[in-house]
Amino acid sequence: MDAYDVLDELSEAAAELVHRGLVLASGGNVSIRVGDTVYISPTGARLHALSPETFAQVDLHTGKRLNEFKPSSELPMHLACYRARPDAVAVIHCHPPHVTALASLGLTLPAMTADFFVYLDALYLPLVPYITPGTEALAQAVAEKLAQAPAVLLGNHGIIATGPSVKRTLDRVLLAEETARVYLLAKQHSEPRVLNEEDWRALREAHYGKGQ
């Protein structure tokens, strides 16, 4: 797969975020890394209308612009993700309603179903409380939390997810939103049981989700 094909896939994933109500208008941004080049949606772009030739290109190490398109204002956060997680090939930032509600309550996202472990490879998703969007301070806070999990909740803002492919990164965002919805629904009645380390170990022993 060359860069054009992956950007085509990323454009489709970004449109899916809009169609599923996980981001609106020009909110959110997406990127991929190909070698030392990061291709990122341009600032102000509407995520349902991206195409491979509209992405801004930036050097991963210096942050220097490599073409005429102005990168997303969240470029510092995307670059920090690639630097913090060498396994990251794609990064998606969007504003899923249930995830954003949970993060704004100051809560982390616990594992509610077995698929959480399969897709997110973590016991819970950590939280970065609200920091002004687009700042280096936000990028640094996110990079620190990415040591614990491949995605991070952003208070009063949304989520940022990394992954080894566009598909896996999109699945992580979708799974996080599904989990936040289930968690908040359950919490309206009482404090739900959440899955723990022991549940995760038992799933690994049962080889659950190996085909995903």
Cβ-Cβ contacts under 8 Å for 147 (sequence gap 6 or more): 84
Question: Cβ of 57: how many Cβ atoms within 10 Å?
Answer: 17
Report if residue 171 touches ligand 13P, rule: CB under 6 A: no
Q: Contact between 28 and ligand 13P (CB under 6 A)?
A: yes
> Among residues 4 and 130, whose Cβ is nearest to ligand 13P?
130
Q: 133 vs 192, which CB is nearer to ligand 13P? A: 133
Nearest to 110 by CA among 95, 128, 125: 125
Torsion of CA 211, 19, 22, 24, to 10 degrees: 160
Of residues 4, 12, 19, 44, which one binds ligand 13P by CB under 6 A? 44
Least distance to ligand 13P, CB of residue 29, Å = 4
Active-site pick, 9, 16, 53, 74: 74
Token pair, residue 153, equals: 């909740």
Interface with ligand 13P, residue 73, by CB under 6 A? yes
Tell me, by CB under 6 A, how many residues bind ligand 13P: 10
Q: What letters, b where the CB count within 10 A reaches 16 and e where it falls short, cover 160-175?
A: bbbbeebebbbbbbbb
Instruction: Indicate if 74 belongs to the active site.
Output: yes
Residues near ligand 13P (CB under 6 A) are 26-29, 43-44, 72-74, 133
**Catalytic site positions:** 74
